[in-house]
Amino acid sequence: MNSHIVILLTFFLLFLAGCATDPAKRHLYLSEAIQAESFMDEGQPKQAAALYQELAQSQPAHRDEFNLLAAEAFIQSGDSLSAKSLADLIKTDSLSAEQRNRLNLLHAQINLSNGDAEQAINILNITQPYNLTLTDQIIFYQSLAFAHSLTGDTLQSVQARIQLSPLFENSQQRELNNTVILKSLNLLPTEILLTQQPPAPDTLGGWMALTRLLKDSQLKQNKEQFQTNLAEWELLFPDHPAIDSEFLESYLDHSTHSFQLPSAIAILLPESGRFATAAQVIREGFMEAYHAQFEYQPIINFYDTSIENSVELYHQAISNGAELIIGPLSKTNIQNLALDTELTIPVLALNHIENLAKNNLFQFGLSPIDDVRQIVNKASHDGNHKALVLTPNNNQGQRINNHLTDYWQETGGTLLESQPYNSKKNDFSAPIKDLLNLDESNYRYKQLRRLLATNIEYTERRRHDVDAIFLSAQPQTARSIYPQLRFYRATNLPIYATSQLYNGQPNPSQDIDLNSITFCDIPWAFPETYPGKLSQQALRSNWQKFPRKYKKLLALGVDSFNVLTHLSTLDNIPYPGATGTLLLNQENRITRQLVCAKFINGKAVLQNPIIEQFKIISDQNSIYSKDYF
């Protein structure tokens, strides 16, 4: 039984024994507490939270303790909103030192679920892990490591994991944690590993030296030299936790079967036809990223998919020495390549086909799935439950409508109605009136006037059973739709739009018509979230040559090169790219975490990023996961 509930039940039983509570009620309260803990053990935290809430209401003397248990159960279920509402009610005066530290840890987890890593770190810094149980100490250091990872402070994240390892009683957990340490440090440039390495025999210094050693081995492929260097490393760090033959052997064996940095890359893109301009933009972004750094510059060869079959080009590229293929771009070519040949070397396809998974096939594109999931998460996080959808009446609009419907229902939301609109028109009154049920209002008025046989004062009334509207529209179209929504009395409804709404160029005089619309987009669209020599501003001369609708593909090109050095760790360590915070899911698709903004006075103002909720997984199978928190 969980130590939290054991301690609380001890005091709870003493309280019940010393008061005039009815024996039947005492038995009921005890039974509910034990049942709640059983729900926790069985992986049903929401049911446990409900019972803890009942106990909090029925036992005022222990209300704060039971509310704390309920909030902890909610956070484990992924419901950070309910956890926060309870945590905010708890009065710390009645809590023990251990409980106050658990409350701090809970607030940190809530902040992490809302994407506020900085605030989570501030709270964790005033938390005393020595006052926590072993289980909570593990959660504490996992939280600290994850928070530092989100802020980009890799060394602090690794320090937290170094403190985490000894807490695990299971050797497999320690091994997984050590693997994450190496993968995290592998993201750092060699220069940082050299200049910021603490001297031997410091544990962090040992990990950093080992990471450099492994990097050199991967780039030079000299196994004999690696073994010599490894022996020298062991002499410098004789008590290091990585000096475990089973761990190193397992890690090195896994590395030989995982993605290896290629020395030669073939890029399959069309030079003519429908996708030629998109391909040219991607190519420019790729080459800008290639020339922007000097540590890794493989041989690059381009192949034209507009004149030859992608399968034939794949084998031709391999015969020419390619160790990785980037492309194709069109879904047809990707599908043909995946279905018509065995992929003996990895392929990073620059588009996404749903339900297409194959060994050695990675899919990476500006998929609307990521846009939709992000804006749905944002709307749900803001407390909305019932929604309307307005999308264009074309194939892409229908796909976005389907994704919105599916993901909104996944969050527990209700889709009341969706309406398509003709994006080639300027008058959107018909679909808007249908969406807001204004025609029904007009019909009821006519019926009432006929019944009373007299003229009566009438104002059209929109439906009032809706919390928010999802909108998919290009900027120019949205500037016409939104004023019409306001005209038809949707003034107080929050509007959430997909990334099509913004082209990355501030235009306050025109975007004043988009005021209060919230949308999510790639970090590259904002100078605050993606500065530097590959930023939108730095690459202005590149994207200005092309129609604006292709502009964001430049960021895809940038990431299609930069992600290569992170692909081996992308399944559990996010990479902050131009197109989003990137992670590799179980289907080998690179998913993108976007940033959200809201139009205020005609300007897109960044909001706090919303991170998909992570559940705590600390069993022997996983200590670091995309589902973490």
Q: Are 186 and 157 in contact (CB under 8 A)?
A: no
Q: Are 618 and 139 in contact (CB under 8 A)?
A: yes
Residue 343 to residue 330: CA distance in whole angstroms: 18
Residue 291 burial (10 A CB sphere; 0-12, 13-18, 19+): exposed
Length of the chain, in residues: 629
Q: Which long-range contacts (CB under 8 A, 24 or more apart) does 373-376 make?
A: 373/403, 373/407, 373/612, 374/520, 374/593, 374/594, 374/596, 374/610, 375/470, 375/496, 375/497, 375/498, 375/518, 375/519, 375/520, 375/596, 376/404, 376/407, 376/408, 376/411, 376/413, 376/470, 376/496
> What's the pTM?
0.64
* Those residues with Cβ within 8 angstroms of residue 549's Cβ, 6 or more apart along the chain or in another chain: 503
Closest CA to 429 of 490, 481, 353, 492: 481
- What local confidence, expressed as pLDDT, does residue 562 receive? 94
Greater confidence (282 vs 614) lies with 282
List pLDDT tens digits, range 482-508: 888 888 777 788 999 999 999 888 899
- Can you give the residue ranges of every domain in the chain? 182-257
Neighbours of 78 (CB within 10 A): 18
Q: Mean pLDDT across the chain, nearest whole number?
A: 83
- What local confidence, expressed as pLDDT, does residue 255 receive? 55
3-class DSSP assignment, residue 593: strand
Residue 471 has pLDDT above 80, yes or no: yes
Phi, psi of 114 (to 5 degrees): -95, 5
Residue 208 to residue 192: CA distance in whole angstroms: 9
Average pLDDT over residues 424-447: 67
Neighbours of 206 (CB within 10 A): 24
Q: Are 462 and 429 in contact (CB under 8 A)?
A: no
SS (H, E, C) 69-137: HHHHHHHHHCCHHHHHHHHCCCCHHHCCHHHHHHHHHHHHHHHHHCCCHHHHHHHHHCCCHHHCCHHHH
Phi, psi of 471 (to 5 degrees): -130, 135
* Amino acid (1-letter code) at residue 93: D
- Indicate the pLDDT class of residue 223, thresholds 50, 70 and 90: low
- Indicate the pLDDT class of residue 25, thresholds 50, 70 and 90: very low
Average pLDDT over residues 251-276: 79
Residue 184 burial (10 A CB sphere; 0-12, 13-18, 19+): buried
